[in-house]
Amino acid sequence: MAWRPDDKINEYGEPTYWDQHYDKKRKEEGLEYSFDFYVEPESLMPLLESYFGTDKGMNLLIIGAGSSEIPQLLYEAGFRRITCIDVSPVLVAHMQNRHHQHEGLDYFVMDVKNLGSFPDNSFDGILDKGTMDALFGSIRCMDDVLLMSKEVCRVLKVGKTFVEVSHGLPDTRLVYLRHHSLQWTAQHFTLPTNSSVHVYHMTKTPALPALTAGDDAEAAALLDAARARRRVGSLDLGVVRDLTSP
């Protein structure tokens, strides 16, 4: 089946989709509208605190924050250096207004594939819940996911952790998260309370982590196949569905 621009799976990787989505939800459900993909935010807090530690002065980055309640919960837990980014200007303006009295909880319009505003080794902890999955809905998904991973790795401090919460199975995610260009180790487990939710945690290392030849070859093959399909002007929707299936 050929790729069509109007396929919803393609829209998930585009900022205009999220502008329309959040504007509609705000009008339907009011200014206090919030939504968390995959799991209730409270159920993730013990996990996040175990990774991010007890230092409330640490610098945290929340990727694709959307209208999630997680930044608010982290703030209530005492963290005061929380940077939230999202690709939707509509959403960011809404969340800036909602949290304007919460000093240290900041929202910015930014594309995770280009975090150029942040210096290298800026953050003590980084969280993503669903942004990588959304990028798999882009026609540029293979390249975009690697760009995201490289930028996140760049701004993460050595020895610190990036937590990725996803519906993607390990064989569709680890091949990117363990790419040879990334200076971190990557591990995986499923949430005890919901086995369909996958958690990937990456710890940045001083040197490049070891990578098996098989993983490296698989990543190269996936990228080559994606580029070949793009050159002929179509993308097999079945392949993308396999990559994004829970």
Q: What is the DSSP string of 65-77?
A: -TT-SHHHHHHHT
Is 174 domain-assigned? yes
Domain-located, residue 46:
yes
Instruction: Report yes or no on 238 lying in a domain.
Output: no
Placement of tokens 């509509």 in the chain:
90
pLDDT tens digit sequence for 42-76: 888 888 988 888 889 999 999 999 888 999 999 99
In a domain, 246, yes or no: no
Q: Which domain holds residue 172?
A: 15-233
Rounded Cα–Cα distance for residues 184 and 153 (Å): 7
Confidence band (pLDDT; 50, 70, 90) for 202? very high
What is the domain count for the chain? 1
In a domain, 240, yes or no: no
Structure tokens at 218: 């698989």
Q: In the structure encoding, which two tokens stand for residue 146, read together?
A: 């690697």
Q: Give every CB contact of residue 39 below 8 A, 6+ residues apart in sequence.
A: 165, 191, 193, 194, 197
The whole-model pTM stands at 0.76
Does the pLDDT value for residue 8 go beyond 70?
no
Q: What's the rounded Cα separation, in Å, for the pair 145 and 125?
A: 19
Domain presence at residue 2: no
Q: Which amino acid is at 215?
A: D
pLDDT at 118 over 80: yes
- Predicted confidence band of residue 33 (pLDDT cuts 50, 70, 90): low
171 inside domain: yes
63: CATH: 3.40.50.150
Measured distance between the N- and C-terminal CA atoms of the chain, rounded to whole angstroms:
21
* DSSP label of 194: E
Inside any domain, residue 7: no
